[in-house]
């Protein structure tokens, strides 16, 4: 499939997932499947994946109630290329952080590994061992402030999908672990291989690490809570390529324009026009990742009257021009060394 991107004599990279009771299943299965797809597509063992931990009976129970087989922790003399630390809920994380045997092994493994990565709250294990000190890192949005408070020497990013800082990779967790792993594979095999894996896994798009953990429309709906404005946002999402007046928005809710303004301000502290603009711009950000779609087409599909009007609105909202934003995520361009 994309074996041309790897030498047939390339040495396998040993990748160890640290498993423990209550580990978040998607933190393990998502990234592991990306690596497995890389092996299958390249028709060779690029990534020698092992699932290790301290489990007397050889299994741990995942967060979803699915038992996972676990190999014993490798001896300190055994070479490890990449160590991956998935997350868990607060109770499971608290238990593993108190396990002196596992934490000592992890400390030694990180010291000798070429690459260290954490997914979701797995960053707390690395932080406890001092491996986030003076490093840029992230975790799930619900825990970023907690991570920063507990480990003040770390430079915690509050809202980003994943971060690559030297030999350290950290991600927001759950599905963002897939995004991070695709970026890691891309650095090993190239953009074409990462894209092929993404297609095989039916990933909607390859997301840059600097993107927000939040979807614009979901974020607005979450802030609005239950009620008419949530329904309005959902309806607007299906109409963004059309001309939408305040009257049409008010008609959808069967209220007056004045009442529409009042409801929007009460729910989101935003005017109806601001809500519509935010949804248009968020949709355009998604489309900018599809490199074959011209900027002019994106402007019209997102309801802007002209490409110039779109560019002005985008620059005002995100402090960067649409073309420059797209260039940052062009998979054919070199990867930045700090944020992938």
Could you give all domains of the chain from N- to C-terminal order, each with its CATH number? Answer: 3-200 (3.40.50.880), 216-328 (1.10.10.60)
pLDDT at 173: 75
pLDDT at 204: 52
Nearest partner of 249 among 241, 258, 260, judged by Cα: 260
**Distance from chain centroid for Cα 323:** 22
Asked if 46 and 38 touch (Cβ cutoff 8 Å), the reply is yes
Between the two ends of the chain, the Cα-to-Cα distance in Å is 25
> Around Cβ 90, how many Cβ atoms within 10 Å?
12
pLDDT at 333: 44
pLDDT at 174: 73
**Distance from chain centroid for Cα 209:** 6
Tens place of pLDDT per residue across the chain (340 aa): 555 445 444 689 999 999 999 999 999 999 999 999 999 988 899 999 999 999 999 999 999 999 999 999 999 788 999 999 999 999 999 999 999 999 999 999 999 999 999 999 999 999 999 999 999 999 998 899 999 999 999 999 887 888 999 999 999 877 888 889 988 998 888 877 887 888 788 665 555 544 554 456 666 777 777 678 888 988 998 899 999 999 999 999 999 999 999 999 998 899 999 999 999 998 898 788 777 889 999 999 999 999 999 999 999 988 889 998 888 655 444 433 333 2
In this structure, the strands spanning 162-165 and 168-171 are antiparallel
pLDDT at 329: 57
- H helix or E strand, kind and range, residue 155: strand 155-156
Beta bridge partners of 85: 118
d(CA 201, CA 190): 17
pLDDT at 338: 33
The pLDDT tens digits for 264-281 are 999 889 999 999 999 999
Beta bridge partners of 15: 49, 82
Cβ-Cβ contacts under 8 Å for 270 (sequence gap 6 or more): 264, 278
pLDDT at 48: 97
């Amino acid at each position: 499939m994309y074996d041309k991107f790897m030498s047939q004599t390339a040495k396998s990279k040993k990748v160890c997932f640290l498993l423990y009771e209550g580990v978040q299943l998607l933190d393990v299965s998502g990234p592991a499947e990306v690596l497995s797809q890389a092996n299958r597509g390249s028709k060779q063992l690029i990534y020698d994946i092992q699932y290790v931990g301290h489990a007397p009976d050889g299994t741990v129970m995942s967060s979803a109630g699915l038992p996972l087989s676990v190999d014993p922790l490798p001896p300190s003399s055994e070479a490890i290329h990449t160590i991956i630390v998935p997350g868990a809920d607060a109770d499971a994380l608290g238990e593993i952080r108190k396990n002196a045997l596992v934490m000592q092994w992890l400390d030694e493994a990180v010291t000798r590994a070429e690459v260290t990565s954490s997914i979701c709250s797995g960053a707390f294990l690395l932080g406890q061992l001092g491996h986030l000190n003076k490093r840029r890192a992230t975790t799930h949005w619900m825990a970023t402030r907690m991570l920063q408070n507990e480990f003040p020497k770390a430079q915690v990013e509050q809202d980003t999908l994943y971060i690559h800082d030297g030999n350290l990779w950290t991600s927001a967790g759950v599905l963002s672990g897939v995004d991070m792993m695709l970026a890691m594979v891309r650095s090993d095999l190239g953009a074409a291989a990462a894209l092929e894996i993404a297609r095989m896994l039916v990933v909607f798009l390859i997301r840059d690490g600097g993107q927000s953990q939040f979807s614009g429309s979901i974020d607005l709906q979450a802030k609005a809570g239950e009620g008419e404005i949530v329904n309005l946002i959902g309806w607007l999402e299906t109409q963004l390529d059309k001309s939408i007046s305040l009257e049409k928005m008010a008609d959808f809710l069967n209220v007056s324009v004045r009442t529409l303004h009042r409801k929007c301000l009460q729910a989101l502290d935003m005017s109806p026009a601001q809500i519509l603009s935010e949804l248009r711009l968020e949709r355009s950000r998604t489309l900018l990742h599809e490199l074959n779609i011209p900027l002019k087409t994106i402007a019209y599909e997102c309801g802007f009257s002209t490409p110039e009007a779109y560019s002005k609105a985008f620059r005002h909202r995100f402090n960067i021009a649409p073309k420059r934003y797209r260039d940052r995520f062009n998979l054919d361009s070199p990867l930045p060394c700090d944020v992938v």
